[in-house]
Chains A and B, each alone.
Chain A
Amino acid sequence: MNPLIQMSPEVCVVLGGCLVCLIGVARRSSARAVTSSVALVTLVVAMALTAWYGRPGDAIQPAGLLITQLSMYVRWITLIVGVLIVLVNAGTPADEERGEFFGMILFSIAGVMLTGCANDLVVLFLAVELVSVPTYILVGLSRTDARASEAAVKYFFLGALAAAIMVYGFSFLYGAAGTTVLRGASGGSLSEHVASAGRLTDFATIGLLLAFAGLSFKIAAVPFHAYAPDVYEGAASSVTGLLGFLPKLAGFAAMIHLLTAIGWQLPTSLLWLLWGVAAATMTVGNVLALLQTNVKRMLAYSSIAHSGYMLIGLLVGPALGAGPMHDGVAALLFYVAVYGTMNLGAFAALGSLTVRDEPAETLDDLAGLSRRAPWTALALTVCAFSLMGFPPTAGFLGKVYVFSSAFSLSPWHPFRTAMVVLVVIAVINSAIGAAYYLRIAAACYLRDADGQSRVSGDFMLRVGLGICGAAMVVLFVIPKPLVDRARYAAAAAHPRRDAHVSVVELPPS
C-alpha cells in the first residue's frame, strides 16, 4: 500500500494543523473563531482515515515507520482524547492567537501518533520533539501574564536539555547497532544487534540509560520532575490538562519501542535504577502534593505520582495475549488512557472557573462549589475520585491492573519480590494520595464557606468536561473495549512476536 495512505491519519492531522494556522491569520474575527471547529473536524477525519486505512502489520521501510497494534492504540486514544483536548481548550486562547494555538495542539497530537508508529531512532526523536516543541509554545500562548512566559521559558530549556540527553543516548544506540532502525529490517536493526550479541553491549547500555533519562522528563519522573509544578501552575488550566497526557503518552510509547527493540532484556542495574525511579516518583509526587493548597500544583505533583504507578507496568513488561491483570504493558496503556482523560477532566473543571476574572486555582476558590455549580462540582469530584483510584471509576481498574501485573511475574523471576515490594509502596502511596484528592471533593461539597469562583467556561468546555467525567464511570462498568485494545497493543510489544507478522490476531475472548 502507498505509504502516504498508510500514514494518512498523521498526514491529515498535520495538514489540518497548517490549515488552522492559516485561518488564524485571517483578518476577520469570525473566521478566526472557526479554528477550533476546523481542528475538531480534522481530528474526526483522521479517525475515519484511521478506521479505513489503519492496517497494522506493514513496515513502511524507507520512512522508518512500522504500524503495529500499538501504533493503532496510540492513534486511537490520542485522537479521542485529542477531541476532548480541543473541546476543553476551545475558549482558552486570545482571539488573535487562535490559529497558532489550535495548530500547535494538532501538531502535538500528530507527534504522539507518529511516536506510536516510529521504528527508527531518527523518526522517534523527531516525533517526540514534534510533541514537545508545540507544547512549549502552547504554555507561552495560553495566558498573557508573566507567569505563563516564565513557565514557557522553564519548560523550554529543561525540555531542550532532556531532548538533547535523549538524542545523545540515541547516538550511542546507533553506534552500537550500526543502524538507526529499531527492529526487524532486512539491513540490520537494533533488535537484531541485541539478539545476535545475546546481551546489551556497553554502548547500547549507555545509550539506553541516556535515552531513558531524557524520556523521564517527558513523563515527569523523578529526578526530572522539577519543572512540572511550575509549568502546570504557569500555564492555563485547560492547557495543563493536555500537558499531563500528550508528552506522557509519547514518552511511554517511546520507552516501549526502545524496550521492545532490546527484547525487554534490561540489564539488572538498569532494572534497579528504574525500580528506584518508580518508587521515588510515586512517593515524592504524593508526599509533596499533600503540602499544596494550589490545586494546579497539587495535580502537577499527582501527575508525577501517576507516572510512578505507570512505571510499574513498564517494569513488568508484556505478556503475550494475557489480559491486563497479567500484562504490564497492557495495564500501562490502559492506565495512561484513563489517566489522560481524568486528568484532563480535573483541569477542565478548574479551567471553567474564574474568581473575579482571574482563573480559579486554590482549594479556597473551590469552597462550596457544589451549591454554585453542581454539575461542574460533580464532574470534578468524579475525576478526583478516579485519580484517587476509587471505585466506581476507571481509575480504580487502572490501578488494579497495574498493581496486579506486578504479581503476575512468575515466582522464579528474580525481580518478583522487588516488584511486589514496589506494589506495596504503591498502595501505601495511593492511600496518601487519597488524602489530597479528598480535599478537592471536600472543598466542593463539605465546606460551608463560599468561595468566589464562578462558572464562566464556554459551552464546548463544559461538553468536554462532561464527557471526561462520564467516561470515568462508563469505563468502569464497560472496560472491555479499551482493555482488549490495550491487550492487542501490548502483544505487539512482545519480543517473541516477529515485527513482520505483527498483525495481532488474538481470539476475541
Chain B
Amino acid sequence: MDSTLLSWLVFVPTIGAVACLLAPREVTRTVAMLASGISFVLSLFLIPPFLGAGDEMNAAAVFGSSYGDALHFIQRIPWINGESFTIEYFLGLDGLNLPLVILTTLISLLAVWASWNFDEWKINKGKKGYFALLLLLETGMLGTFVALDFFLFYIFWEVMLLPMYFLIGVWGGPRKEYAAIKFFLFTLAGSVLMLVALVAMFFYSGAAVAEYPELAVSYRDGASVLTTGTFDLIELATNEAIQKYFGESLFLGWRFAPVMFIFLFVGFAVKLPAVPVHTWLPDAHVEAPTPISMILAGVLLKMGGYGFLRLCYPIFPSGGQFWAGTLAAIGVVSILYGALCAMAQTDFKKLVAYSSVSHMGYVLLGIAVMTETGFQGAMFQMIAHGISSPMCFFLVGVIYDRAHHREINRFGGLWLTMPKYGTMATIGFFASLGLPGLCGFVGEVFVLLGTFEARHTFTWAVPAAILAAAGVIFTAGYILWLIQRVYLGPQKPEYADYPEATGREMAILMPLAALCVVLGVLPRVVFDYMNGTLRNILDQIL
C-alpha cells in the first residue's frame, strides 16, 4: 500500500519555507501559518487506518501480529544504490510514530502562531528567514519520526540541527552564540558514534545474511531472502539471521549488541536529555525565543525516547538487557537531579527546562525496565510532556513579553491581574506536576507501575521505583512553590496594570489545556493508537 501522504506531510513545510522566502514580508507569517496548518490537517488524515484499534479484535489488523507486520502509508524509493547496498527513501507509520507525528504538527502550528508577534520582538530582523527555518525544522522533525531507513533517519536527525542552531543562534537571548554552539556540538558529538553504529550495522547485517542465508527471510513479503546488508530499521529488528548474528558477533573484542546499543544510546541520551549530558538544555532554553523553546521541549526531546524505542531496543534487545541497570540508574538520577535543580532556579525558564530533564527521566526509566506497562508509560509520558511543557514555556513567554524579565522572585500575585492567564497557568503547571486527572499523572504512574512489575527480573526495580516516586514529591515541591511565588500572594504594584492574555495567547493555550485534561481523563485516546506496536516490539525483545 504505497502512499505519498507521508512525503507530502514531511515536505509541505519545506514548500512553505520556500514560499516564506519568496513572499513579501507582510504575508510571511500567514504563509508559515498556512503551511504548518496544512501539515497539521494532513497529519490528521493519518489517523483513519488506526481507528478502532482499541478493540482487541481490531488491534491485530491495525498493528499486525508482529513488529513491522503492518506498516501504514509506506513509501519506498531507492535513493543511492550500488552493487551491494541500497539506501532507500523509506517512510512508514505505525503506532510508535503516529502520536509523535501528530504532536509535532500540532506543536509546530502553535509555535508558528506563537511567533505571530515577531515584529514586536527585541530581535525582529530576518523575518522571512525565521519562519522559513521554523518550517524547515518541522520538516526535519517529521522526517526523523517517519523515516524507517537508518540512513535517511540519520540525515533527518542531523539536518534538523541546522535550523535549530540558527533559530537559537540568531534570534536568541544575550548568550545565544554560546547556547547555539553548545546545543549543536553536544548533539553532534552524540551522533558521531551513531554514525559508526550506522555503518557497522550495515556491514554486520551484510555478514549476517551471508552467514545464515537460510534464516535471512525478509519481512517485506515473508518469502524473499536478503542477500546484502541493509539500512531498513524494521529488517534489522526482525530478520532472524541479522538478529542471530548481532547477538553473537564481536565488535573490537566486545559483544556487538551492547556496544552498538550504547553507541546509539549516547546520541539519543543527549537529545533526551539524560544526566550528565543534559547541560545544553537549560542554556538552549534560556536563550531560545519562546516558540523555539516550545518546539525544543515539545518535540525535539521526544526524539531521544523515540530513538530508544525504534532503534536501540528492537534491534539490540540483548543490549537492552545488558544495560538495563545503568539506564534505569541514569533515569532515576535524571528525575531527582532535574527536580532538585529546578527547585534551585530563580529563572522561570530555567526552572521549566530542568523540569523537562526530570520528566524525561521517567521516559528513560520506563523504557529501561522493558515491561509493557513501562513502555506504555514512557510513550505516554513523552506525549504528555510534549503537551504540558510547550504550554509551560508559552506561559513563561506570555509573562516575559510583558515584564521583560524572568526572575521568579520578582513576580507575585499575577492571578489577580490576569485571572484567565492564571487559570491556564495552573492547568499547565499542574499537568506538569502530575496531578491526577491531568496528563502528566498517567505517564508517571504507568512508569512507576512498570518498574514495580519488573521486580522479578531486576533486583533494583523496587528501589528504583521508590526513588522515582520520591521525585514526584520534589516535583510537587518546586511547582507549588513556583505557583505560589508567581501567581499567588498579594498583587504587586508594578504588575498591576498588565493586560490580560490576548485572544491569540488564549487560543494557543486553550487546545493545550484541553489536551492536558482529555489525556488525563481519557488516556485511551493515546494508548489505543500505540499499544499494539509497543506490544509487538516487546514480543520482539523478549
A/B touching: CB–CB < 8 A:
yes
User: Which among B83, B196, B198, B207 is the interface contact of A424 at CB below 8 angstroms?
Assistant: B196
Q: How many A-B Cβ pairs are below 8 Å?
A: 100
Q: How far is the CA of A348 from the CA of B195 in the complex (A)?
A: 30
Cross-chain contact B85 with A391 (CB below 8 angstroms): no
Classify the interface of chain A: helix, strand, loop or mixed: helix
| Residue ID in chain A nearest B200 by CB atoms | A407
B-chain residues with CB within 8 Å of residue A407 when the two chains form the complex:
199-200, 202-203
Q: Which of B148-174 contact A (CB under 8 A)?
A: 154-155, 158-159, 161-162, 165-166, 169-170
**Given A323-B84, A421-B252, A431-B188, is A404 in contact with B202 using a C-beta cutoff of 8 Å?**
yes
Contact (Cβ within 8 A) A446 B170: yes
With A427-B195, A435-B185 known to touch, is A509 a contact of B83 (CB < 8 Å)?
yes
What are the interface flags for B181-194 relative to A under an 8 Å C-beta threshold, 1 for contact and 0 otherwise? 10011001100110
Tell whether, in the assembled complex, residue B82 and residue A487 are in contact, meaning their CB atoms are under 8 Å apart: yes
**Overall SS of chain B's interface:** helix
The answer, yes or no, to whether A128 is at the interface (CB within 8 Å) is no
Q: B199, A434: Cβ atoms under 8 Å?
A: no
* Cα A275 to Cα B192 with chains together (Å): 21
Tell whether, in the assembled complex, residue B195 and residue A323 are in contact, meaning their CB atoms are under 8 Å apart.
Answer: no
Q: Does B237 belong to the interface (CB within 8 Å)? A: no
CA distance A396 to B155 in the complex (A): 9
- For A483, list chain B residues within 8 Å (CB): 80, 82
Does residue B81 face the partner (Cβ distance < 8 Å to A)?
A: yes
> CA of A393 to CA of B154 in the docked complex: distance in angstroms?
13
Contact B199 A423 (CB under 8 A): yes
**Residue of A with least CB distance to B123:** A448
The answer to the question of B180 belonging to the interface, with a C-beta cut-off of 8 Å to chain A, is yes
Q: Which residue of A lies closest to B168 (CB)?
A: A446
User: Are A322's CB and B82's CB within 8 A?
Assistant: yes
Give the residue of A391, A397, A446 whose beta carbon is less than 8 angstroms from that of B159: A391
B82 touches A324 (CB 8 A): yes
B85 touches A428 (CB 8 A): no
Query: Considering only CB atoms, which chain A residue lies closest to B174 in the complex?
Result: A448
Asked if B181 and A325 sit within 8 Å, CB to CB, the answer is: no
Q: In the complex the two chains form, what is the Cα distance from A404 to B196 in whole Å?
A: 8
B176 interfacial by beta-carbon distance below 8 Å:
yes
How far is B194's CA from A428's CA once the two chains are assembled, in angstroms?
11
Are B189 and A431 interface neighbours, CB within 8 A?
Answer: yes
Indicate whether B177 reaches chain A with its CB closer than 8 angstroms.
Answer: yes
Q: How far is the CB of B153 from chain A (nearest CB, A)?
A: 11
Cα(A400)–Cα(B82), bound, Å: 14
Q: Specify which chain A residues have a CB less than 8 angstroms from the CB of B192 in the assembled complex.
A: 427-428, 430-431
A370 to chain B, nearest CB (A): 8
Given the known inter-chain contacts A407-B203, A424-B196, A434-B188, please indicate yes or no for A322 contacting B84, CB distance below 8 A: yes
- How many angstroms between the C-alpha atoms of A325 and B196 in the bound complex? 13
Q: Cβ of B82 and Cβ of A325 under 8 Å apart? A: yes
By a CB distance below 8 angstroms, the chain B residues around A431 are 185, 188-189, 192
Query: Which B70-85 residues sit within 8 Å CB-CB of chain A?
Result: 80-85
A408 is an interface residue with CB less than 8 A from chain B:
yes
State whether A323 and B155 are in contact (beta carbons under 8 Å apart), knowing that A427-B192, A427-B195, A446-B180 are contacts in the complex: no
CB-CB under 8 A for A446 and B177, given A423-B199, A438-B185, A480-B80? yes
Q: Enumerate B493-531 residues with CB–CB distance to A below 8 Å.
A: none
In the complex the two chains form, is A446's CB within 8 Å of B82's CB? no
B125 cross-chain contacts in A, Cβ below 8 A: 371
Chain B residue at minimum C-beta to C-beta distance from A429: B192
Show 14 A/B contacts (Cβ-Cβ < 8 Å), sorted by A: A322-B84, A323-B83, A323-B85, A326-B83, A390-B162, A396-B155, A400-B199, A404-B202, A407-B200, A420-B200, A424-B196, A446-B170, A446-B180, A509-B82
Which of A's residues lie within 8 Å of B, judged by CB? Answer: 321-326, 371, 385, 390-392, 396-397, 400, 403-404, 407-408, 411, 417, 420-421, 423-424, 427-428, 430-431, 434-435, 438-439, 441-442, 445-447, 479-480, 483, 487, 509
